[in-house]
């Protein structure tokens, strides 16, 4: 039993009870905080804070799934998720008053880092008693892939330079989690090996903060990692394919999956998370994809898929829609199911199977596409 850690935990609770300091922020932030205070006042009388509850809040879906597994069956732990489960990646996320309410009474906030939660950067400072931990801080600098700022843009041959800049920037960082958006590719959970390291890291944080449940966290972590290992063992042969098809990624998320299984990434054109493309930009994109040769176009199922369908029609290449595990039902096996589907697609695309994943190829749901107008917006 580590007394010191327990004391820190108790002190944090005391601080929380004595109220939070709120530094002056932007106007929007002030409005949000005011809204939060109103909500707090309204719910004041029915609020009976459970002093012995360890409350963990995650920023978005994949992290919540992770915590569901790590805290399964552990007494006295309450987990909550900030963004709705269908939100997807948080790249363009707008903070809502209700998100701040979810942070009320939290002991630990688990964020992805690497810019995924940039919308919260000013807000977290207003919760001095909240412990914030970033998944990315559980990883090694050399395991990270460069983000948009360092992605090589078409064929400008500036690739080596970008790599150097990227490593300089990540090596100099005190915290990989606190790196701003664009420096690193933050979708690390799509590499099973990195995902396991992150699980172990978060499990160690939970164990430190809630010492009496250490054994349960460790058992849960080991059991979940066992399931992950069982899954990846089934797809080990993917790593051994002698000549692999290249990938054109329409969202940088799958760079980690491609990297884990040795599929060369020909181009990453991070078009899906942005909405609004001119006809000229789309033509450039088509040329870029044509240049990549016989590649598989991989799109992310969190986006509408309109651009991938357009590319498939124009280039004749097959598109595969993969699941980055960023939205869905709150189910413990959600990551495992998403990853199994993705690995199955890689197996099919590599001609290793009779094709149970063919259904996800070239799904044309929306034939009346206005090719010259804005495309790429989310389907809701």
The contact set with Zn ion (CB under 5 A) reads: 89, 253
Alpha-carbon gap, residue 48 to 50, rounded angstroms: 6
Q: How far is the CB of 46 from Zn ion (least distance, A)?
A: 38
What is the DSSP code string of 55-123? Answer: EEEESSHHHHHHHHHHTTT-TTEEEEESS-TT----TT----HHHHHHHTT-SEEEE--TTTTGGGHHH
**Cα maximum dimension of the chain:** 66
If the CB atoms of residues 315 and 327 are measured against Zn ion, the closer one turns out to be: 327
The residue whose Cβ lies closest to Zn ion is 89
| Rounded least distance, CB 326 to Zn ion, Å | 7
Nearer to Zn ion, 127 or 320 (CB): 320
Closer to Zn ion by CB, 83 or 106: give it: 83
What is the smallest separation between the CB atom of 37 and Zn ion, expressed in angstroms?
32
Cβ–Cβ < 8 Å for 328, 321: no
- What is the closest distance, in whole angstroms, from the C-beta atom of residue 65 to Zn ion in the complex? 16
Whether the CB-CB separation of 344 and 356 falls below 8 Å is answered with yes
Closest CB to Zn ion among residues 81, 253: 253
Least distance to Zn ion, CB of residue 308, Å: 15
At residue 320, the 3 state secondary structure works out as strand
Considering the complex, state which of residue 253 and residue 301 has its C-beta at the smaller distance from Zn ion: 253
DSSP string, 179-214: PPBTTB---GGGSHHHHHHHHHHHHHHHHHHTGGGH
Nearer to Zn ion, 105 or 115 (CB): 115
Nearer to Zn ion, 89 or 297 (CB): 89
Query: What is the phi/psi pair of residue 20, to 5°?
Result: -105, 145
Question: What stretch of H or E contains 291?
Answer: helix 279-291
Residue 116 Cβ vs Zn ion, minimum distance, rounded to whole Å: 8
Residue closer to Zn ion (CB basis): 311 or 326: 326
| Per-residue DSSP letter, 353 | S
Q: Which two tokens stand for residue 369?
A: 């596409």
Distances (CA, A) of 100 to 15, 88, 352: 18, 19, 48
Q: Min. distance of Cβ 187 from Zn ion in angstroms?
A: 5
Instruction: Give bridge partners of residue 111 from the DSSP assignment.
Output: 134
Please say which residue, 105 or 147, places its beta carbon nearer to Zn ion.
147
Smallest separation (angstroms) from Zn ion to the CB of 87? 11
Say if CB 253 and CB 325 are below 8 A apart.
no
Q: Write down the least CB distance from residue 348 to Zn ion, Å.
A: 24
Q: Decide: residue 39, CB within 10 A, 0-12 exposed, 13-18 middle, 19+ buried.
A: middle
Task: Please provide residue 96's backbone torsions phi and psi, each rounded to the nearest 5 degrees.
Answer: -115, 155
């Amino acid at each position: 039993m580590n007394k010191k850690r327990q004391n820190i935990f108790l002190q944090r609770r005391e601080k929380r009870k004595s109220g939070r300091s709120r530094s002056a922020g932007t106007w929007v932030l002030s409005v949000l905080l005011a809204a939060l205070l109103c909500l707090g006042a309204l719910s004041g009388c029915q609020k009976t804070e459970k002093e012995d509850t360890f409350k963990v809040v995650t920023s978005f879906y994949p992290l919540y799934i992770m915590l569901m597994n790590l805290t399964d069956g552990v007494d006295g732990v309450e987990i909550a998720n900030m963004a709705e489960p269908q939100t997807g990646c948080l790249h363009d996320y707008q903070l809502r008053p209700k998100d701040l309410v979810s942070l009320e009474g939290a002991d630990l906030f688990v964020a992805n880092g690497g810019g995924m939660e940039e919308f919260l950067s000013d807000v977290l400072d207003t919760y001095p008693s909240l412990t914030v931990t970033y998944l990315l801080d559980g990883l090694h600098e050399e395991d990270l892939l460069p983000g948009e700022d360092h992605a090589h843009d078409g064929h400008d041959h500036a690739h080596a330079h970008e790599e150097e800049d990227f490593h300089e920037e990540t090596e100099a960082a005190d915290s990989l989690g606190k790196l701003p958006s664009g420096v690193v590719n933050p979708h690390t959970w799509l590499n099973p090996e990195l995902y396991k390291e992150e699980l172990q890291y978060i499990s160690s944080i939970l164990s430190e903060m809630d010492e009496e449940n250490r054994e349960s966290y460790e058992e849960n972590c080991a059991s979940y990692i066992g399931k992950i290992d069982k899954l990846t063992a089934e797809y080990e042969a993917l790593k051994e394919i002698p000549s692999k098809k290249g990938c054109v990624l329409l969202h940088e998320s799958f760079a980690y999956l491609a990297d884990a299984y040795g599929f060369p990434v020909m181009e990453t054109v991070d078009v899906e998370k942005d909405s609004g493309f001119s006809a000229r930009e789309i033509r450039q994109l088509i040329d870029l994809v044509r240049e990549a040769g016989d590649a598989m176009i991989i799109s992310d199922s969190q986006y509408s898929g309109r651009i991938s369908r357009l590319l498939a029609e124009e280039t004749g290449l097959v598109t595969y829609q993969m699941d980055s595990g960023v939205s869905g039902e709150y189910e413990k096996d959600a990551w495992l199911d998403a990853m199994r589907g993705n690995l199955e697609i890689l197996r099919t695309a590599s001609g290793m199977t009779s094709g149970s994943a063919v259904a996800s190829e070239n799904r044309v749901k929306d034939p009346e596409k206005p090719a010259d107008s804005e495309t790429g917006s989310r389907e809701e």
